[in-house]
Amino acid sequence: MNYQNVPSKFSWEALGDIGEGRTNLGAEMPVIVYRLLQYTLKDILSREYGEEAAAEIYRAAGHLAGIQFARNVLDLSGDFDFFVTNLQKQLTSLKIGILRIERADLATLSLTLTVSEDLDCSGLPVTDETVCDYDEGFIAGILEAYTGKPFIVKEIDCWASGDRTCRFTANVKKSA
């Protein structure tokens, strides 16, 4: 599946005015509600199209979300250290996770990073598999929005695989 060839109909404005629409309940909700949506949708997609196709759809959705998040929430004007600091603050502030850069080779744009207390998986039962397909796309989209280059992000450790933090490698996508 290649979602790159079909224009997106998504816009940041489509998220609406949450303050106006939720005057009593506010903008926050429990993580379990987010996961209920995420994991039931992934279950239906997996049953309909197969597990790998569902994972690819989640990566593509995460990628779109990452680009939009970066463009609308982050300040992309600074150097790499400024970008990372801003990203860390926003991810923590929005309770998405706690980002740490373990390794960064700026010459090759190759990174290893961790996200602790990850919104998608921290606290899940151990299934000996990585489950953060959406996060792979989300991180790739954020990095692409900052650098202007497409990335491939791969989760190598996950709460669901028995680790207590999610670890990802991120590398610039080689042109075909």
In a domain, 11, yes or no: no
In a domain, 72, yes or no: yes
Mean pLDDT confidence for 120-135: 95
pLDDT of 176 over the 70 cut: no
In a domain, 23, yes or no: yes
Q: Tokens standing for 18?
A: 């949450």
In a domain, 12, yes or no: no
Amino acid making up residue 170: A
Can you give the pTM of this predicted structure?
0.95
Please state, as a whole number, how many other Cβ atoms lie within 10 Å of the Cβ of residue 167.
Answer: 19
Count the domains in the chain: 1
Burial class (CB in 10 A: 0-12, 13-18, 19+), 57: buried
User: Are 158 and 130 spatial neighbours (Cβ–Cβ below 8 Å)?
Assistant: yes
Q: What is the DSSP letter of 125?
A: P
Please state, as a whole number, how many other Cβ atoms lie within 10 Å of the Cβ of residue 96.
Answer: 17
Range of 105's domain? 17-172
User: In whole angstroms, what is the distance from residue 103 CA to residue 111 CA?
Assistant: 5
Per-residue pLDDT tens for 23-54? Answer: 999 999 999 999 999 999 999 999 999 999 99
Per-residue pLDDT tens for 151-166? Answer: 999 999 999 999 999 9
pLDDT of 17 over the 90 cut: yes
In a domain, 96, yes or no: yes
In a domain, 8, yes or no: no
CATH of the domain at 89: 3.30.1380.20
